[in-house]
Each structure stands twice: as C-alpha cells, then as structure tokens.
Amino acid sequence: MLKTLKKFVLGPPLASADLHHQKLTKKVALAVFSSDALSSVAYATEEILLVLVTAGMTAVQLSLPIAIAIGILLIIVVSSYSETIHAYPSGGGAYIVAKENLGTYPGLVAAASLLTDYILTVSVSIASGIAAVTSAFPNLYPYRVVICLFCILVITLANLRGLKESGAIFAVPTYLFVFSFSALIIIGFYRYFFGDPVAIQEVTHYPPASHALTYFLILRAFSSGCAALTGVEAISNGVPAFKAPESRNANITLVSMGLILLAMFLGITELARFFHVLPVGDETVVSQIARHVFGTGPFYYVIQAATAMILILAANTSYADFPRLASLLAKDGYMPRQLASLGDRLAFSNGILLLGVASGVLIVMFGANTHHLIPLYAVGVFTSFSLSQSGMVVHWVKLKGKGWFHKVIINGLGATATFVTLLVIASTKFTHGAWMVIVFIPLVILWFVAVHAHYRDIVDQLHPNLNDLLPPKLHRVLIPISAFHKGTAKAISYALSMSSDVRAVYIALDPERAARMPEIWSNWCIDIPLVILESPYRSIIRPLLDYIDELQKEEKDQLITVVLPEFVAAKWWQQILHNQTALMIRGILMFKRGVSVTSVRHFLDY
C-alpha cells in the first residue's frame, strides 16, 4: 500500500539511464534557477524603504540612487559568475571554487554560508508570498504560519518528483510574474507621465522622522536592498542540470536573469518613488503600487496572485541547489552519507526533505514574519559571493591562459565589491539579527569537521587484520520465547544449525505461566535447555540484558547470537493488533557489543 501511495504522489521510479532526459532547457532552467532572484523584486524595494522612512521624506528620495548602486553591484556579480560558469562547467559552486583554489576551510565556510542561505531563501520566499496573499485577503493573516508550512510541504513533494518535472510545474508562475510585473511597470510609468491624475490615488502621509539621515542609515538601506541579489549564484551552481552545451546555455540563462532582474527592480523602486508609496501596515509596497496603477480591479489581483506564486515558488531555487551542494559535501565526507545518493526519481530526496524540515522550523520560530527573517538573509550569500570570486582570481592566476588578466580584473572586481558589501551588511544588520547567522555559520563548519572526523575514524577502526578472520572460541545462541508455536520451532531449528550451545530464554512476567513452562517444554521433548529469568518489575529487556552480561563475563572471546522468533500477519492492519516485543529487543541489542541479532519469521496465511 505504501509503495502504491508513494508511486501515486511522487511518480514511478526512474532508471539511472534516464538521467540525461532530466536535463533542463533554458526556458525551464530560468524558472528553476532564477525564481529566487526574480522574486526578490517583490520585497527588496520595500526593505530599502523600511529603513529610509525612519529618516523622513528627504531620505525616501534616496531609494532610487541606492537601487542604482545595487544594480551596478548586480552587473558586477553576474559578470563574475559568467566567468565561473565557463571555468567550471561541471558546476562552479562557491564550495568547489573556494575549496580548489583557497583551501578546505574557505570551501567549508562557503558551503556553510550557502546552505544557510538556501534554508533562509525558502523561509523568506514563502513568508513573503503569503504576505502578498494576506495583503489581498487580510482575514487570512492569523493563519499565515500554517499556510506557509502547507506551501513548504507542497513544494517539497513537487521536488521529490524530480527536477525536470518540478521545473515544468513552476515555469508558468515564473513567466506570469515576469509578464505581469513588466505590464505593471510599463503601465505605471505611462499613467504617471501621461495618465489621468484621478488614476493616482492619495499621497501617503510621511510619518515623523525617528532617526537622523546618516551615512550609516544609508548603508543600512543599501544592505537591506541587497536581498535583491540573493539567488544570483544558483545558475553557476547548477550548470550540470542544463542540456548540452551546458556552459553556453547556463551563461545565456544567467545574463537573461540579470537583465530581467535589473529592469524590474529599478522599475518597481522608481514607481514607489513616483506614487509616494511607503511600507505601512500589513500591505506590501507592491500591493500599494498595483492599486495606484490598476485600482482594485481584476489586474490588481493578477499582480497579487503572480507575486504570491513567484515568492512561494522562489523556494524552488533552493530545492534545486541545496540537495546538490549537500550531495557534494556528503561525498567529501562532511555531511551524512545518506545525502549523497539520488532517490527513485533521480533527485537528491534526502537533501530535499532536510531542506523542507529546516525551513519549516524557521517559519515557526519567526512567526512567518518577513522583516524578521530578511536581516538574517544576505550575510550567507555575500560570504559565498566573496569566497567564490576570490577563488576565481586565484584560479586564473594559476592557470594563466588566454585573456587571464582580463578575467582576473572581472573576478577581482566581483570579489572586492561583494566583500565590501558583506562588511556593510554584517555591520549594519548585526544588531537586527545578522549576529545569529554570523554565529550559526561557524557552528555548521564545526559540525562539518566533526562529521568528517567521524568518517575518518570509521575508516581507521574498520581496517581489518588477520585476527579478525579467526572465529570466536565460543558461539552461544539465545532464543527469547513467550510460548511454543511454529515460529518458535523454526527459530530452534535455525539456531541448532549454527551452534551446539542453544538456549531458550523465557522472561517470567506472569508467575503462574512461568511455573507451567518447564512442563510444556518437557511435553514437546525439546532438546535444548530452557532458562527462566525472573522479572519482578515486569521488564522484558532488563533481565535479558543482565543474562547476556553474565554470559559475556564467562568468556571474553565469544559471540552471542539472539534469534528472535516472529510471526507476520497476513494483512498490514493485523500487525498493529500484536505487541512488537521482537522489534523492541532488536532495537536495544543493536547497541550491545558482542551480540548479533537474527529474526526468524513465520508468515500467517490469513
């Protein structure tokens, strides 16, 4: 039944030979890898205004210059990652670039930063998307956390179906967002310059200034708006997911994404300035702009729906890259090995599940509040930006191929710009929550190191020697029983095939039944000893463990095998009608040295 349900929800398993069929075209890849970056248009302008509005009307007029500065930084980052794509066609993620060119620990810093950013991307994107929904339907606001968790569940299940299938699902909302926002910007500019003044609603009253307009406040606004750059690196991380020629297609997609993002970000920022829109109440800036341009007609709700969908589905970028990065780390021994392998649908299923759980925890912790989550957001991504671009500088200097100096200039400019931005973000947002990420990333690195040390120790401890091939001096077999039945008989027969020292062990939970067991044993003429263990506290496990301890004291060089007789019900629901004593014993003895556990099952017919 579970197999059928899994096949219905996730689809039938895919053969390894089908992997090349899962490659993405440029159109689908733009939806898969760019939804995170493009979706930031919906909240990056608002984050700039949230800071500037505290300094009054004059400060708000600086939103466009700040947005232009962020746009220049975007051009630098896109140009830098374009070089990375050509240099690392197998996937030039910050982890690989930094590890190969700067060393192991810079690589781990980049990996920890990216993993943190991917988790935050899911949380921020979905929280922002639901904020757009609650702006249009305020009655849903109290249920935002539950709605966010439901969205995470849906996106997780969609990605478990495979990268190509999830990309096809999410392509329509991504392109709807691009076209609807393009229409919003074009019509918004037209109405401002040529439209009927009645179409422009009342100007928002500026709240009184609570902070002075200082350079530090301007830098804070700049660092908040840098959320627009999150996700730009995703395409360079996922080059192997593209159809051939991978590097060329990935580069075209990266440049297309950068141009669309730049145009929409600057357009929304300027419209907010034109219409004097401020982040007030529970309504988003984009929602207010849409009302100014379209009123509350159908196209207003199209904008809100497109915004909500792209923000929610922006999480898909993380679902494409987080499992891939986790797989690389797992193969290098820095994360659990379970994350290294592809699942039934040729997706890194365990990494997808881990990302879903981690982002859901963040949503609950921060109450799905975007403004509380975004200060944590950009530290990780700009750390990885800086390390990746620094690694590329070292790469070109070592390689010194054709045009290497020109490439050093491009990546060097990217490294400098992103590092300066990182310092600005870390200093201006430190007290607003960025300190949590700055503390969390070293903890993740320590975990990487601990996992790697564990795997290294396992290799050392599992290295065999000649003594490991020698059989133990003594092999004892214990059969825990509750009664004598077909399952018990099969277990005894199996045990006698392994050893001459076989003992049945009965735990005396019921004194009357325990008194009858020797007679039952003798009546069946069973030629192995029956050991009855008293259990005054009605425990099954403790007396058995104590008895095993006593046997182990008699001879150090021995193996004890516990054979568990079990019967399996004909129908799955019948199994829950029986206690799971054998399962409990097996779980406890798993951690007992010198003890092996074997199950001998008897299958019931009806």
pLDDT of residue 465: 78
Q: Note the pLDDT tens digit of each residue in 277-294.
A: 888 766 788 888 888 888
The rounded distance, in Å, linking the Cα atoms of 47 and 226 is 9
Which structure tokens are listed for 331?
Answer: 């193969």
Identify the pLDDT of residue 369: 77
The alpha-helical segments, DSSP class H, found in 205-245 are: 215-225, 234-237
431 falls in which pLDDT band (50, 70, 90)?
A: confident
Is a pLDDT exceeding 70 seen at residue 201? no
**β-sheet bridge partners, residue 597:** 562
Write out the DSSP string of 401-430.
-TTHHHHHHHHHHHHHHHHHHHHHHHHHSG
Q: Which of 186-200, 270-284, 373-387 has the lowest mean pLDDT?
A: 186-200
Give pTM, 2 decimals: 0.74
Reported as a single tens digit per residue, the pLDDT across 323-371 is: 888 988 998 999 998 888 776 666 778 889 999 999 999 899 888 776 6
Tokens for 323, please give them.
């499992």
**Is 317's pLDDT higher than 90?**
no
* Amino acid 200: pLDDT: 47
Residue 94 contacts by C-beta under 8 Å, 6 or more apart in sequence?
110, 111, 113, 114, 233, 237, 384, 385, 387, 388, 391
- Ordered domains of the chain (ranges, CATH): 22-455 (1.20.1740.10), 467-603 (3.40.50.620)
Cα–Cα dist 148/130, whole Å: 7
What's the distance, Cα to Cα, between the start and end of the chain in Å? 18
Quote the pLDDT of residue 197.
Answer: 42
Question: What are the beta bridge partners of residue 339?
Answer: none
Mean pLDDT throughout 563-568? 90
Cis status, amide bond into 543, omega within 30 of 0: no
* CB burial string 179-206: b at 16+ within 10 A, e below: ebbebbbebbbebbeeeeeeeeeeeeee
Q: What is the reported pLDDT for 6? A: 57
Give the mean model confidence (pLDDT) for residues 264-283: 85
- Mean pLDDT value across the chain: 84
pLDDT of amino acid 150: 92
CA 358 to chain centre: 6
How far is the CA of 88 from the CAs of 235, 236, 239, in angstroms?
A: 12, 8, 8
CA distance 92 to 230: 17
Phi, psi (5° rounding) for residue 109? -65, -45
CB 366 within 8 Å of CB 359: no
| CA atoms of 281 and 240, how far apart (whole Å) | 44
Spatial distance between the Cα atoms of 216 and 99, rounded to a whole number of angstroms: 34
Lowest-pLDDT range, 116-125, 390-399, 429-438? 429-438
For residues 263 and 12, the model is more confident at 263
Residue 560 contacts residue 478 (beta carbons within 8 Å): yes
From CA 227, how far away is CA 373, in angstroms rounded? 11
The pLDDT assigned to 375 comes to: 64
113: nearest Cα among 337, 428, 325, 411: 325
Q: What is residue 241's DSSP assignment?
A: G
Residue 417 has pLDDT above 50, yes or no: yes
Q: Is the pLDDT of residue 305 over 80?
A: yes
CA distance 158 to 246: 24
Task: Evaluate if residue 126 carries a pLDDT over 80.
Answer: yes
> Do 380 and 113 contact (CB within 8 A), yes or no?
yes
pLDDT at 530 (0 to 100) = 92
pLDDT at 165: 63
Q: Are 291 and 302 in contact (CB under 8 A)?
A: no
Longest dimension (CA), the chain: 104
